[in-house]
Structure 1
Amino acid sequence: MKLTIHGAARQVTGSMHLLEVNRYKILIDCGLDYEKDRSVQSNENFPFNPSDIDVVILTHAHIDHSGNLPTLVRMGFDGQILCTPPTAELSELLLMDSVNVFLNKQQKSGRHRRGRNHGPRPQPLYLQKHVMDTTERFVTIAFNKPFRLNGDVELTFIPVGHLLGAAAVVLKVNDNGEEKTIAFTGDIGRKNYPVLDDPQPLPKVDYLVSESTYGGRSHSKGETIEQVLIDTIEKACIKESGRLIIPAFSIGRTQALVYSLNKIFSTGKLPPVKVFVDSPLASASTNVFRKHHALLNAEAQDFYRTQGDEFEFDNLHYIENLKESQQISNYFEPCIIISSAGMLEGGRIQDHLYNNIQNYYCTILFIGYCAKGTLGFRLLRGDPVVHIKDRDLAVYATIKKTDLFSAHGDHEDLVSTVRQQAPQNLKKVFLVHGEAESMVAMANDLQQDGYEVVIPEKDLAYDL
């Protein structure tokens, strides 16, 4: 049995791991690599022949895990893609959205190149047809139901929170007559997160490939999501009669936020405030959450039985089209605007910022991570002037941030997941999906407990 980490090695994005068992090639995740100095087009340079892959196993729908699947299919992969039912549906939405992002970038590139000799425009990495070809290959498997890939490999999906349908991959392998087990955590969620169940413990395994995104970092303690929202809304919308803009990723983060607002307003903890959810992708993905209601956590299901739809309440309005989105700027009463994208690099959120960044009575609340170089990062850094839609605008709005909506487990959550395995039985822990310093911090803690930890190099094969 041989393991090669082809993506998310000493970096966060581009998860892609190859496991070879008796010449049978299993690819776990196939995500887009967004790291610096890489063009989107560089994602088609696979370190293997896509047609040689026998099967793909997808941990969850986020683009850094699923986003390069259509490229894999376009370049010759013709096997099955195994995942949970919600992951299949959410992945289709996100992959179609990626096509729109590619095409929008191509259009912008064309406008900038007009009249200049810059060579050919970059082509989209894939198109809608390739996404459709990809989704036809999805085969869905329920949580905790063993599924035999072939005579030598058995797969089980274990719920890990983080996102609806997100799973750790546990493989039981017959390696030339010797039984071995290996688990890939995917992205591990945190406990007591809105809507989602807590991560389930993993069974005993011989090898563990663990994410390390928040290695060395802890989430804020003391405050609750509800209290942060109440305090922020009370100041921005009630005392100042202004507007609150919340950039939020459409899938996962928006549903957690809407449910949290529902609990606040339905119980009368704040007077009514108009809430706009301005993201077609958020509306579509919320329907997937409704469809798979049985997979939501016990609190959300109890709320449904006593209060009704978790994602619907008085004064909540899902924006249907661009015309409605533009009309929000003419709504002069206090309101909350939830829109994507979370890092402000595109989408309708830029229109709302353009119209409100110079409004003293506007508050912008960040509830997610913003990578270096993004507009969100610059606002959080405190830049007094930012560039939006070809204009430099002074920042007069109030900028706030909370990490309580992060769906990633922090350092203690990650280390606790590994500690479910006895160090004398777990032969190796491979750390992926994290910055180098995060991996080192996590490795130091685990090595003190007696675990053998590997921080793998990209494209280097390990015999297991």
Structure 2
Amino acid sequence: MKLTIWGAAQQVTGSMHLLQINNYNILIDCGLDYEKGNHQEQNLFFPFDPSNIDLVILTHAHIDHSGNLPTLIRMGYDGQILCTGPTADLTEILLFDSVNIFLSKQKKKPRNRKKHHSGPQPLYLQKHVMETVDRFVTIGFHKSFRINGDIELTFVPVGHLLGAAAAILTINDQGTIKKIAFTGDIGRKNYPVLVNPDTLPPVDYLVCESTYGGRFHSKDASLEDTLIKTIEETCVKNPGRLIIPAFSIGRTQSLIFKLNQIFSKGLLPPVEVFVDSPLANHATDIYRKHHQYVNEEAQSFYQAKGDEFEFENLTYLKTQQESLAVSNYLDPCIIISSAGMLEGGRIQDHLYYNIQNYYCTILFIGYCAKGTLGDRLLRGDPIVRLRNRDLMVYAKIAKTDLLSGHGDHNDLMDVVKQQSSNSLKKVFLVHGEINSLSAFKTALETEGYEVEIPERGVGYEL
């Protein structure tokens, strides 16, 4: 049995792991790599022949885990993609959204007069996404699925996103039973809407994400208290507007539910809330469709008060005209819009009209990669460029990590420490920046675990 880490090796994006068992090749995740240069070009070629892959397992829908599946199929893969039901539905809308992003980038790129062609060609088109969706085979949690005579798969919930799973493989490797787990991305405990990460069964090998290795989430205040304080200062004591950049899938649904709880308890006077993201609207419908996968808190709320994603002062904006009309809404309000790092989407319209508004607060609830507009605002740039104009930043910039979807260092340690250091043969750390990987590795080795930080393309005989 051989493991090769082909993606998210000493970096965060592009998860892709190849497990070879008795001439049977399984690819775990096939995500887009955003780390270097032109990501469309660097994701076009695979370090193996896609037609030689026998099976794909998808841990969850986020695009850094799923986003290159249509390219894999376009390049010759003709097998199934195993995942949970919510993952299949969320991946479908994310992949179609990726096509739209590819096409918009192609249109915006200035035409090269000498070469007579426009910008980068899309990695894939809608027809390739449709072919991908047709390959999904959905499996429930904790249900053993026999892949062939030697391999069984079980999905274990890990929070992070609706339907997200760790993949547990039980393998008969030439008469020896071996178990390996791929965590995907690990969520947080007591996160709005999502279940807590479940305990993983004992395994021989663990491939573990490390996004927050060596880093810890804030403990000073609860999410509810933080939101109440921010809304009160912005929209109750002052006639302002609170703009919250949020990723459309996962973060937005958890935020809406928390706001629903706050207003339903009467902890704040009613404030109009606008959700301005077509993708978020579709994702919320998927959360409703797969309601059995939300946590007990959300299910109890539904039984007592109804749909956790609807309340009296909440409006889901659908058209571009409805979105633009919000700029003329004069009363205090909350605007939730994408993209979370401000690198496109309708959020840029709201920024353009409010970045110079002294009564506006922009509250970041997620990570902003270096160089993005969100990162520039968070580091305190006094001037930003929007619509080819340099605008002074008069709005208040705030941030909270209490809605981060990733477990922190302690959460990651808890997952690994479920395994006995005497029986777990090796931990492979992936999906993290080098500082996080190193800090996590040091902490695990202190606990007696054997740890490896793989380089891209290095194979390990297990």
- Answer yes or no: is 1:429 the counterpart of 2:427: yes
Instruction: After TM superposition, give the deviation of residue 83 of structure 1 in Å.
Output: 0.1
Q: Deviations over 1:329-369 (max 9, x none)?
A: 01010000000000000100001101110111110000000
Aligned-partner residue type, residue 249 of structure 2: I
- For residues 47-81 of structure 1, the C-alpha deviation after alignment (integer angstroms, 9 at most, x for no partner) is 00000000000000000000000000000000000
CA distance in 2, matches of 1:4, 1:427: 16
The 2-side partners of 1:38 and 1:104 are apart by 15
Which residue of the partner structure matches residue 364 of structure 2? 366
Aligned equivalent of 1:241, options 222, 229, 239? 239
Partner of 2:93: 93
Q: How does 1:105-116 map to 2 (within 5 A)?
A: 105-109=105-109, 112-113=110-111
1:194 corresponds to which residue?
A: 192
5+ residue gaps, structure 2? none
| Pairwise CA distance, 1:204 | 0.2
Give the Cα separation in 1 of the matches to 2:220 and 2:342. 28
Amino acid at match of 1:88: A
Matches within 5 A, 1:114-129: 120-129=118-127
Q: Tell me, in whole angstroms, the C-alpha distance in 2 between the residues paired with 1:185 and 1:235.
A: 40
Opposite residue 59 of structure 1, the aligned amino acid is T
What does residue 353 of structure 1 align with?
351
Percent of aligned pairs with the same amino acid:
69
Aligned pairs for 1:123-138 within 5 A: 123-138=121-136
Q: CA deviation at 1:118?
A: 8.3
Residue number in structure 2 paired with 1:20: 20
Task: Give the CA deviation at 1:222.
Answer: 2.4
Partners of 1:184 and 1:137 lie apart in 2 by 21
Q: Report what 2:250 is aligned to.
A: 252
Matches within 5 A, 1:243-282: 243-282=241-280
Q: Alpha-carbon deviations, 1:245-287, whole Å to 9, x = none?
A: 0000000000000000000111110000000000011011001
Query: Within 1, Cα distance between the matches of 2:374 and 2:323?
Result: 21
Matched, 1:286 2:284: yes
Paired residue for 1:207?
205
Output the amino acid matched with 1:194. P
- Counterpart position of 2:54: 54
- Alpha-carbon distance change, 333 to 36 in structure 1, aligned in 2, over 3 angstroms: same
Distance 1:89 1:293 in 2: 13
By how many angstroms is 1:120 displaced? 4.9
Q: Which residue in 2 is equivalent to 1:65?
A: 65
Cα distance in 1 between the residues matched to 2:116 and 2:266: 58
Distance in 2 (CA, whole Å) between partners of 1:312 and 1:272 is: 14
Q: Secondary structure at the match of 1:70?
A: helix
Write out per-residue CA displacement over residues 185-210 of structure 1, whole angstroms, 9 at most, x where no aligned residue. 00000000000110000000000000
Structure-2 separation of matches of 1:126 and 1:350: 26
Matching of residue 442 in structure 1 with residue 440 in structure 2: yes
Matches of 1:61 and 1:48, distance apart in 2 = 23
The CA deviation at 1:227 is 0.4
Residue 390 of structure 1 deviates from its aligned partner by 1.6
What residue is the counterpart of 1:40 in the other structure?
Answer: 40
1:78 is matched with which residue? 78
> Which secondary structure does the structure 2 equivalent of 1:415 belong to?
helix
Q: Which amino acid aligns with 1:296?
A: V
For the residues of structure 2 that align with 1:119 and 1:331, how far apart are their CA atoms? 42
Aligned to 1:334: 332
1:37, CA displacement in angstroms? 2.8
Query: Could you tell me which amino acid in structure 2 is paired with residue 11 of structure 1?
Result: Q
Distance 1:287 1:119, change over 3 A: closer
The CA distance in 1 between the partners of 2:258 and 2:265, in whole Å, is: 11
Query: Structure 1 CA distance, aligned partners of 2:115 and 2:393?
Result: 35
- Structure 1 gaps of 5+ residues are none
Q: CA RMSD in A?
A: 1.0
1 CA distance for matches of 2:22 and 2:38?
33
Q: Match for residue 5 of structure 1? A: 5
Q: How does the TM-score come out when normalised to structure 2?
A: 0.99
Amino acid at match of 1:190: R
The number of residue pairs the alignment matches comes to: 462
2:313 corresponds to which residue? 315
- The one-letter amino acid of 1:178's match is T
C-alpha contact (below 8 Å) 2:159/2:165 kept by paired residues: yes
Structure 1: how far apart are the matches of 2:130 and 2:156?
27
Separation in 2 of the partners of 1:149 and 1:286? 32
Classify the secondary structure of the residue corresponding to 2:322: helix
Partner amino acid, structure 2, of 1:401:
K
Other-structure match for 2:162 = 164
